[in-house]
Amino acid sequence: MARDRRVEESAWVAEVEGAVADVGASAVESARWRRHCIYRVPACIKDLNPKAYRPQVVSLGPFHHGEPQLRPMDAHKRRALVHFLRRARRPLAEFAAAVAGGAAEEEYERLAGAYEGLGGEWLGEERFVELMVTDGCFLLEVMRAASGWEVNDYAADDPVFSPHGLLYTVPFIRRDMLMIENQLPLLVLDRLLAVETGKDGNEELINRMVLLFLSPTAWPLTTGVGLALHPLDVLRRSLLYGPSPAPRAPPPPRDSPPAPPDDVIRSAAELYEAGVRFKRSATGSLLDIRFHRGTLYLPPIAVDDTTEYMLLNLMAFERLHAGAGNDVTAYVFFMDNMVDSARDVALLAARRVVHNAVGSDKAVARLLNGLSRDVVLEPQSALDGVHREVNAYCRKPWNRWRANLVHTYFRSPWSFLSLAAAVFLLVMTVLQTVYTVLPYYNDKS
């Protein structure tokens, strides 16, 4: 009895019982989770490639602020803030007030809530607002300088904002802006521009500015969709522009027969041997993958030094952010299975699907093969229909026989001439036999 009484009076029991009785706690948690859009990458993901998620030059936001290797950029941030204020001709207090609070909802609450697991040292409004304003102004200055905007009050030998800095320093800043842990909410830029220009409604301008900086050749974003969450979200939207994929089929019932054992994604070389042709899609959207009459249409992808960081962080964002979808992850999984060796890369490069900017085809194959380790796919991916169509085409023997004939005898003009000569000789031999035997039957009749 004494033991039962001690259990009933324990702090743990009282705490849990209080949580059970608090029916409004779930709504509070849901509202807090809904604000999150910038996350720390879990160790189970980060340990596979730690360098892909760690900024090298500049920290944006609180997660990596103050790290020793990133401190040298803090002086350039402060200098950019001074130049921004001098050109805007507005007091710093106005920008801080715009970031700290708004008419409808406190901006500080929205900005701090964007970061999942924000440390206690950042819960004070003053220090957090100082960081947001400083990083936001620095980001605006860098993007304006890179776009050729009239930012001519910097010294000719400036380490960041001079032509020399734009060539040797800004590319590393651009790469650090791809890290999911190193994001800055674009709401900060919206509030800063509202004070600088004296007007609201800068969402589309900010989206275009960020996209032009991250990917100058990317397709423009669709207008009227509102402000993106952060720079990585802008890049993701640009990669997924265009028509939505076909509606996903409902999951099969539990008692349905399992999928055929050979229903897997074959490599590009195997598909080519089975008669599948490859063509470059009309757009660069990752959603523009389709199979039509034996031809697999794939969007072009440029593989360079930043491709691995970009795709890994986009996949981490989809994995951590509820509602982000699974489109980039499905594309990476699809390409990982398509590319097994340097031969697959060479085949896709010849069709202008893969642009190799890292060196050998083997290096590209190794890079793509390392992207989908421990990847979790949704049960019904947007590319499932393409998988089924391609595999159904490959299972037909006639397609493989025809591909064998084409690859063997139509690979070069000499092979075609040899085949034509052989067919001609065969026809002539048959005709000679017919003309030799025909008089015999005519005489006999």
Q: Residue 281 region, left (φ>0) first, then alpha (ψ -120 to 50), else beta? A: beta
Cα separation values, 355 from 231, 337, 363, Å? 24, 18, 12
In sequence order, what are the beta bridge partners of 422? none
What's the pLDDT score for residue 22? 63
The Cα–Cα gap between 89 and 197 comes to 11
The Cα–Cα gap between 143 and 207 comes to 12
Helices (H), 147-266: 163-168, 170-176, 186-197, 203-214, 231-239
What's the pLDDT score for residue 401? 45
Q: Single out the residue of 53, 77, 80 nearest to residue 176, CA to CA.
A: 53
What's the pLDDT score for residue 272? 86
The Cα–Cα gap between 133 and 119 comes to 19
**SS3 (DSSP) at 330:** helix
Mean pLDDT by 10 residues, the chain (445 residues): 58 74 59 84 90 95 94 95 93 92 68 87 84 96 86 84 92 96 96 92 92 84 82 93 53 48 72 87 90 91 92 94 89 90 92 90 91 76 82 69 47 56 70 70 62
Contact criterion met (CB below 8 Å) for 340 and 365: yes
Contact criterion met (CB below 8 Å) for 339 and 264: no
Q: Which two tokens stand for residue 187?
A: 């709401």
The Cα–Cα gap between 157 and 31 comes to 48
Please report where in the chains the tokens 């930012």 appear, as a residue. Answer: 151
Contact criterion met (CB below 8 Å) for 256 and 274: no
Q: Which two tokens stand for residue 114?
A: 């964007």
Please report where in the chains the tokens 């905007």 appear, as a residue. Answer: 149
Q: Single out the residue of 37, 217, 6, 55 nearest to residue 111, CA to CA.
A: 37
Report the 10 Å Cβ neighbour count for 445: 5
Q: Length of the chain, please?
A: 445
Q: Where are the domains of the chain?
A: 31-197, 268-400, 412-444
Predicted structure pTM score: 0.83
Pairing state of beta strands 277-280 and 290-292?
unpaired
Alpha carbons within 13 angstroms on the beta-carbon side of residue 252 total 7
- DSSP conformation letters of 352-365: TSEEE-SS-HHHHH
The Cα–Cα gap between 54 and 74 comes to 17
Contact criterion met (CB below 8 Å) for 422 and 430: no
Contact criterion met (CB below 8 Å) for 189 and 136: yes
| HEC secondary structure over 246-269 | CCCCCCCCCCCCCCCCCCCCCCHH
Question: What type of residue sits at position 36?
Answer: H
The Cα–Cα gap between 196 and 86 comes to 11
Q: Single out the residue of 185, 173, 286 nearest to residue 231, CA to CA.
A: 185
The Cα–Cα gap between 32 and 114 comes to 9
Could you tell me which residues come within 8 angstroms of residue 60 by beta carbon, excluding any fewer than 6 positions away? Answer: 135, 139, 176, 177, 182, 183, 184
Give helix 361-369 / helix 327-338 axis angle, nearest 10°.
130
